[in-house]
Amino acid sequence: MTTQSQSSASEYLEMVCQKLPVVKNILNRFGHMPLGVYAEKLNTPPCPSVQSRDDIRQAAFDQICPVLGKDIATRTANDLMAGGTVMTTTHLGIDYFANSVQGNLIYGAGILIGRRKETTIPIFCFGNVPLNSSTFARGLLVYESQLGNSRELPLRLPIFPDNEKRTMTSLAKPFTIAMQQKALKKTNAWKKKNLISKTTAKTIVSLLEHEYAIDAVLNQESYAAQAMIVNRMLGKRMLKTSEHPPDIVYLEIEKITALLLGKDLNDENSLAYRIFFNATLRNTIIQHLDGCPGCWHANTLKTRDTAPGKPDGTATGTIFFWGIDDYKRRVPLLLKSIKGDFYLCGRDDRGDSFTMNFNRNELIQALEKQKLLPSLFTCFLLICFARGFHCVGGVFQGAYLTWMKTCLADCLKVEGDTTNAEMIKEITTNLYQDGMLAFMSPGQNNELLPAGPIEIIQAGGINRDDLTKAFGLTVTQAHMAGLFGSLKDAGAQITRQQSGWQHRVAQACSRELSGKVPLCKPCPIF
């Protein structure tokens, strides 16, 4: 057995498997398989669905067209409809998180190498997270530091000020040129302190000046729109696979869902209408999904609603929708009967009450005015279960989405709707793309570190040879490259109690993956 300081990548991966059985299952089934072959398994054809999928085309087009133009909107909407799957592991925002950025590239493997004819990679992102979440939509993530082995990566370079860190990403106002200037000053300060290299500083400055400061970005009316533009430009900077690499297009899943709800809540036969307003079906579903991750905890919601003072911050989930307070922060909601009518009720973080009538017209108006945001369950209800899209998720999604599917199918069957119950049962809910990396960057002292957009861009981007090498990695090797993120996801003890753990993991990756994984080395042009 190796010493703790010399643990192998395999031993670290076993720590992940002990905490996350879904990872162990994937490695047992597909660990030997080349990553490119595995990625193709994620792309399944459309399946029969409870409702027509055609309205998703229009919803996607309507979100993209005002921001990126008619051509990209048309191509993205068509590509989305051509397949049966969609990526749903990413958070909304300008994306520097290595796991999600590389996960999207792996998901799009067939398009990147020309095996598939699509010209876009549509990604559905969740915006009901604060700017300061682990993926840090609030600014940039840097996977390099000059301060030695005790550092904690990635470094966080904020764009938005600290007082906006709890704002929900989907409701954040656009960043300004003043915010961009502060980020430039901080970058130069980091360089002077030798926190980052001159090459990394130069790359960040280039991004801030050429992507963040252009009129097309600064003139947008929301951060979500800015993120759509900048993410596409980052994709163009990263991908050097052809003269015209595919467009990576991030769409806000809650906005897609809200547009679909505008239609479904006017159709008494739609799945959403039946679940919201058929009292027997609704109550059964609320009961059976109580405690399901991504859904709600009914008793904790009730306690939050009735306890005096400010809520204590206990995780509650929310039933069907999040409320939006005056500070653009989300409010957990439960469904209550008051004098014969049903209301969505809750209290915000300051203890102030939130109440809204739970009927069709009120819901549609609240969605349009951004007083409500569809919950994770409602998003999957409309996109996955009603319209039959297989959603490619992460280590946790496979469990909770399967729970949702089983609950919906069983409840519909009890209602006598066997046909729709059987269609929902056939939807694949355990498609998995998370915790796998295909590109790494060299660190100090024989380290291999995750490569995010900054590291990939300063290396000159990814070419066809890089892709060939990356997609030749086995699924097991790709999981080893992703240990930085998956050890945290697993809550492994090493991440909580041992300083310098990232250095040891980076060295273990170097011993196992050097010469096998494509390296993002700084290019002389930077």
Average pLDDT over residues 176-182: 98
Q: Any idea how long the chain is?
A: 526
How crowded is residue 456: how many other Cβ atoms within 10 Å of its Cβ? Answer: 26
The 10s digit of each residue's pLDDT in 221-252 is 999 999 999 999 999 999 998 888 999 999 99
How far is residue 257's CA from residue 204's CA, in Å, rounded to a whole number?
A: 34
Q: Is the dihedral of CA 329, 123, 106, 72 positive or negative?
A: negative
CB 196 within 8 A of CB 188: no
pLDDT (0 to 100) of residue 403: 96
Strand partners, 354: 346
pLDDT higher than 80, residue 338:
yes
What is the band of 148 on the pLDDT scale with cuts at 50, 70, 90? low
What is the band of 146 on the pLDDT scale with cuts at 50, 70, 90? confident
Average pLDDT over residues 72-76: 98
| pTM, 2 dp | 0.94
How crowded is residue 468: how many other Cβ atoms within 10 Å of its Cβ? Answer: 12
What is the band of 147 on the pLDDT scale with cuts at 50, 70, 90? low
* Interacting residues of 520 by C-beta distance below 8 A, sequence separation 6+: 439, 440, 441, 451, 455, 456, 458, 459
pLDDT (0 to 100) of residue 372: 96
Average pLDDT over residues 313-317: 87
pLDDT higher than 50, residue 2:
no
Residue with tokens 């980020």: 183
The bridge status of strand 120-126 relative to strand 85-91 is: parallel
Cis peptide before 332 (omega within 30 of 0): no
Q: What's the CA dihedral at 259, 263, 269, 273 to 10 degrees?
A: 50
How far is residue 124's CA from residue 180's CA, in Å, rounded to a whole number?
A: 26
Reference 452, options 231, 187, 159, 197; nearest CA is: 231
Percent pLDDT > 70 in the chain is 98
Average pLDDT over residues 117-128: 95
Task: Tell me which DSSP letter residue 175 carries.
Answer: P
Reference 141, options 98, 190, 197; nearest CA is: 98
pLDDT higher than 50, residue 77:
yes
Give the 3-state secondary structure of residue 50: coil
